[in-house]
Amino acid sequence: MLSHKAKYALKALLYLAEQDENHISRTIEIADGANIPKKFLEQILLDLKRGRFVSSKQGKFGGYYLIRSKNDITLAEIHRLFDGAIALLPCASLNFYEPCSDCKTEEECSLRHGLMIIRDETLKAMQGITIASLVKK
């Protein structure tokens, strides 16, 4: 399941993607528009900024704007930024790999192979969903 953070991030990106080119959106504007607690959204926007999805202008008349194409941002990326691995266990993860402590050897782990199949399918599906694909009504 997605965390609230990831969900809110997606909604915020959706909101930004719907704005005119060159429009800068204030946090409060996004919060109201997408029904997100403002202070919580602040943190999320900072995370999105650190992840180089958006950039910001500070001070009066400042705010946030997309710096990547909405056709380019996928659900998989947002999931990874906020909720981490897409695989069901770290030992089956591409980007968040960690060995399992309770398996004797990786070869012997009977789960890993199946989980990698699922990861591949889920990842493919998640990479197919972009901000642009969601925004169009």
Partner DNA sequence: CTAATTCCTAGTAAATCGATAGAATTAATA
Partner DNA sequence: TATTAATTCTATCGATTTACTAGGAATTAG
Residues 75-94 that bind DNA (CB under 7 A): 83
Note whether 117 binds its own copies by CB under 8 A. Answer: yes
26 vs 19, 30, 65, CA distance in Å?
Answer: 12, 7, 9
Nearest to 80 by CA among 134, 3, 18: 3
45 sits near its own copies (criterion: CB under 8 A): no
Residue 20 CB, shortest distance to its own copies, in Å, is 18
39 within 8 A of 72, measured Cβ to Cβ? no
Cβ(85)–Cβ(96) below 8 Å: yes
Nearest to 95 by CA among 111, 109, 84, 79: 84
Interface ranges with DNA (CB under 7 A): 3-5, 8, 26-28, 37-40, 42-43, 45-46, 49, 56-64, 83
Interface ranges with its own copies (CB under 8 A): 1-2, 7, 10-11, 14, 34-36, 75, 79, 84-85, 87-90, 102-104, 110-111, 113-114, 117-118, 121-122, 124-126, 128-129, 133-135, 137
